[in-house]
Amino acid sequence: MAAPHHPEEVSRGSETALPADPLPSWREGAAKQAILDFVKWVASAAVPPEERVAVFDNDGTLWCEKPMPIQLDFILRRLVVMAEQDPALRTRQPWQAAWTRNYDWLNDVITQHYRGDDSQVGALVSGVLAAFAEVTVDDFEADADRFLHTAEHPTLGRTYLACGYVPMVELLDLLAASGFANYIVSGGGRDFMRPISMRMYRVPRERVIGSSVTLAWKDGAIVHSAEMDVLDDGPEKPVRIWSRIGRRPLLAVGNTNGDIPMLQFIERQDRPSLRMLILHDDSAREFDYVTGAERALELAGTNGWTVVSMKNDWTTVFEALQGNSF
């Protein structure tokens, strides 16, 4: 995905002159003004460069997550190949769901997870771990990069690499130009996002924090094991932020209940913070849903978090393809 404007990447803590409207894909309103006011405050209060840290969820916050998370599609294709090679897997979940294209089962697992029910997560995770066990990190990254550049979203008529949200890239650019270090803190796989984080979001790969499997050195290469290292969701998000960055961010953006602890973590008594939720309410240009975000939206109302309406706050969602606007 290419953003409408991409200033040269600045080093952490430096600032650059901003265009007259650094958020051209955002409509005038409370959400846009909250961002501009916050960035202005950071500059006027001379917040030290090292404290200018922003964290972003990825699925549903920076790029589309429906009808299923993009990485899940990547994994399902691998599970289908495994089921073709071993018919016995076709009666076991999640291979059965992948083989029969039963995406409802998969979406139910994710929905139940965000509602606090992880009774089916174990079955899904077991398949995810098995799918790429013994695969080298280099081969995995090459496969992920190829998939993201070539595979198409099932309903939007664009490659997955073109499913990033233009307004969010503008926000990332604005923060970077204002001296912020942007981090991606996602429940998605760290190694799945790294190949495209710089191209899509101008976030260096070393600033990607996500779920991961354990790794091992074998026969001269680093390989994925069939053991989970960390599922970077819910209460793990602030833990991982602290372990990786060692600072409490000033700004956080998410879109589901799994982002609540991250949003709560950045609240500070000594200075303002900006906490935002992306609301998917645009069935014409993307999707309309609140499932899995009910508690987050409730807390937004009581804690003063900024809710960004995709329908009302964004003039466009995705980059234009072949002269069309989305």
2-61 tens-digit pLDDT: 444 433 333 444 567 788 999 999 999 999 999 999 999 999 999 999 999 999 999 999
* % residues pLDDT > 90 (the chain): 79
Query: Could you give the number of structural domains in the chain?
Result: 2
The predicted structure's pLDDT at residue 322 = 63
**Which DSSP string do the residues of 262-302 spell out, in sequence order?**
HHHHT--SSS--EEEEEEEE-TTTS-EE-TT-HHHHHHHHH
Number of CB atoms found within 10 A of residue 169's CB: 24
The predicted structure's pLDDT at residue 78 = 93
Which segment of 6-15, 69-78, 215-224, 254-263 scores lowest on mean pLDDT?
A: 6-15
Q: Which pLDDT band holds residue 298 (cuts at 50, 70, 90)?
A: very high
The predicted structure's pLDDT at residue 303 = 95
195 shares a domain with 217: yes
Helix (H, G, I), strand (E, B) or coil at 167: helix
Q: Which domain holds residue 232?
A: 30-65+164-313
Task: Give the Å distances, CA to CA, from 139 to 134, 186, 222.
Answer: 10, 22, 10
| The pLDDT of residue 235 is above 80 | yes
184 with 62: CB under 8 angstroms?
Answer: yes
Span 278-291, average pLDDT: 97
282 shares a domain with 174: yes
Q: In CATH, what number is assigned to the domain containing residue 285?
A: 3.40.50.1000
Question: Given the structure tokens 């404290």, which residue do they identify?
Answer: 51
Residues comprising the chain, all counted: 326
* Helix pair 121-131, 103-114: axis angle to 10 deg: 120
The predicted structure's pLDDT at residue 103 = 78
Handedness of CA 218, 223, 224, 229 (dihedral sign): positive
Cα end-to-end distance, the chain, whole Å? 14
| The pLDDT of residue 193 is above 70 | yes
Q: Which pLDDT band holds residue 211 (cuts at 50, 70, 90)?
A: very high
Residue type, position 248, single letter: R
Half-sphere exposure of 323 (CA within 13 A, CB side): 0
Of 106, 126, 150, the residue that ends a domain is: 150
298 shares a domain with 192: yes
Chain Cα centroid distance, residue 185: 7
